[in-house]
Chains A and B, each alone.
Chain A
Amino acid sequence: MTGVAIVGIGMHPFGRTAARTGLQQGAFAVRQALGDAGLDWAQVQVAFGGSDAAGNADTLVSELGLTGLQFTNVSNGCATGASALSAAASAIKSGSAEIALAVGFDKHPRGAFNPEPEDWGLGSWYGEAGLMLTTQFFAMKIQRYMHEYGISEDALVRVAEKAFRNGSYNPNAWRRKALSHDEIANSPLVSDPLRKYMFCSPAEGGVALVLCRAGMAKRFQSRPVFLKAVEFRSRLFGTFEVFNPCLADELEEPPSVQTAQAAFEAAGIGPTDVNVAQLQDTESGAEIMHMAENGFCEHGEQESMLASGETNIDGRLPVNTDGGCLANGEPIGASGLRQVYEICLQLRGQAKDRQVPGGPQIGYTHVYGAPGVSGVTVLQV
């Protein structure tokens, strides 16, 4: 099958940019990605893009040029970027296009999301009763996980501490101030056991990736990053997901587990081959659980790994080197593509102050989102 390479990457800084709409932040990212690949917009043959709250992605053509290309909008919650990337890669693999774009952008109002029960197949009672909050799900999942596998609150603090430290080295991050262990541990509880600085916030930003047929990658990029696997799965019966009025008696493994296994199989490598990883960290607990769900450790091992700094930038398996969702915030449409952007920088050796030492060759990205979807990529230089 035709291989796929990422030859152009672009990112509008995450955070709050009052002067630009979400769509304009998306266009900014596309222009930067095209510039990185030395390509013109007119050369892009097919595009897939998504935004949760900042308008129709295909409206980008009015910012970038009315070239007549096929532009498909995708919408998969937190996995929107992964969906766009997966679709763009499929277009190249199938031979229907040689140059494709994946783009995501967003601009959310401040504060927690307020989804409507009816959009999620639930009765209005669920929202009225005060159960329609993603924060409760994340808190209850990690609460149970801590009980089962002996993870402490200290581990939750360490994840956040690492995120803000890494974010302080990232000029595109929203939160660029390192926070001390005490500042995080003493921040107010939002939903026990999770505290204020352990949650990411809705934000703004845009990311674009230009993909091409692997065989032509060197024409556009001296250091192309090859997409060895891109997998996407929805949930099986019996998983513990957000917005579930009931759970099965016997729980199934979360969708991240099956997605990771499929990605490793497609790439022909295993978790120990990965040099740098981006794991969905909607909150501190998510990163901890996702370390194991993706196969990077056994359940419970996270406690000692975090205590000994194994997931720091200079550790054995650096995780969320750009500060992750915690330091970048979560513009839903762009968040998954930000992970790939960061891995491309790391594999190209261009991550500057936060560069993983030793010339990483293989990177990994993982998103997890409501209502139980996961997207994983394996990337290689």
Chain B
Amino acid sequence: MFCANLCIYYIYSTDMSKALHKQLPVQEGLFDWPAERPRLIGSVCNSCGNAEFPFRPFCNRCMGGRVTSVLLPETGRLWTWTVQRFMPKPPYQGSENKADFVPFGVGYIALGGEHPLKVESRLLVNDCSTLRIGMAMRLRIVKLRESVGGTEVMCFAFEPDMRAGALL
């Protein structure tokens, strides 16, 4: 089943200017937003090529201080996963109460390409019978919660990439 507690925005078909509420990323610099094709923002070391997420101004592998900001691939493969079955205590700030909490998936997605790495993310699936290590996944930008005043706080998440036949 798909989680009810992260609202999915079909960004490919929605005109952003028509969004009812102001939308802000949970943190600036994690992903480009708003954007037609939002992507996670990482860093790649100019010396050793190590990729990291989120962006950091120095490399954790060689400790080099020259890095380049990169947009990471929006698709990858599920490397490992779990399901968060109880409602986390703060600092978690979701939109739900304990009574309506719906378990959510969490996983690492292996992103390939020129600068491969694995990114930790919430998943938009929480059914352990459909999650498989190695399945194709793709990035979505979804509503985490509404702040006072109606601003929608947006976060990244991954879901099975049906276009790639994720569940086959």
Contact = CB atoms under 8 A, between A and B. Distances in A.
Contact of B53 (A143, A144, A189, A246): A246
A129 interface: yes
Given A116-B91, A124-B27, A246-B53, A143 B80 contact: yes
A249 B52 contact: no
B44 to A, nearest CB: 12
A130 B104 contact: yes
A143 B82 contact: yes
A67 interface: no
Contacts of B118: 246-249
Contacts of A249: 51, 110, 116-118
B117 A246 contact: yes
30 contacts: A112-B86, A114-B91, A123-B27, A123-B30, A124-B27, A125-B27, A125-B155, A127-B91, A127-B93, A128-B92, A128-B155, A130-B84, A130-B92, A131-B106, A131-B120, A132-B88, A132-B91, A140-B81, A141-B80, A143-B133, A144-B133, A147-B133, A191-B84, A192-B82, A192-B128, A246-B52, A247-B108, A249-B51, A249-B110, A249-B117
B70 interface: no
A248 B108 CA distance: 11
A136 interface: yes
Contacts of B58: none
Interface in A214-271: 237-238, 244-249
A192 B82 CA distance: 5
Contact of A112 (B54, B79, B89): B89
B92 A132 contact: yes
A111 B89 CA distance: 9
* List of 10 A-B pairs having minimum Cβ-Cβ separation, nearest first: A127-B91, A139-B82, A125-B27, A144-B80, A249-B116, A247-B118, A246-B53, A128-B93, A125-B26, A114-B89
Contacts of A144: 79-80, 133
A360 interface: no
A114 B107 CA distance: 20
B103 to A, nearest CB: 9
Contacts, number: 118
Interface string B2-35: 0000000000000000000000001100100000
A351 interface: no
Contact of B80 (A123, A130, A140): A140
B66 interface: no
Contacts of B86: 112, 190
Interface string B67-89: 00000000000011111111011
A145 to B, nearest CB: 9
Report which residue of A128, A136, A189, A238 has the largest number of chain B beta carbons within 10 angstroms of its beta carbon: A128
Given A112-B89, A188-B85, A128 B120 contact: no
Given A124-B91, A191-B82, A248 B117 contact: yes
A309 interface: no
Contacts of B120: 131, 244-247
A147 B80 contact: yes
Given A117-B91, A139-B82, A140-B106, A128 B117 contact: no
B83 A189 contact: yes
Contacts of B84: 130, 133, 135-136, 191
A136 B82 contact: yes
Contacts of B94: 130
A111 B87 CA distance: 12
A135 B92 CA distance: 14
A193 B129 CA distance: 12
Contact of B144 (A112, A129, A147): A129
B37 interface: no
Interface string B35-61: 000000010000000111110000011
A133 B88 contact: yes
Most chain B CB within 10 A, of A111, A114, A143, A237, is at A143
Interface string A180-221: 000000001111111000000000000000000000000000
Given A123-B27, A124-B27, A125-B27, A192 B91 contact: no
B140 interface: no
Contacts of B153: 128
A326 to B, nearest CB: 19
A130 B122 contact: yes
A80 to B, nearest CB: 22
Contacts of B90: 114, 127
Interface string A144-163: 10010000000000000000
Interface string A98-133: 000000000000011010110000011101111111
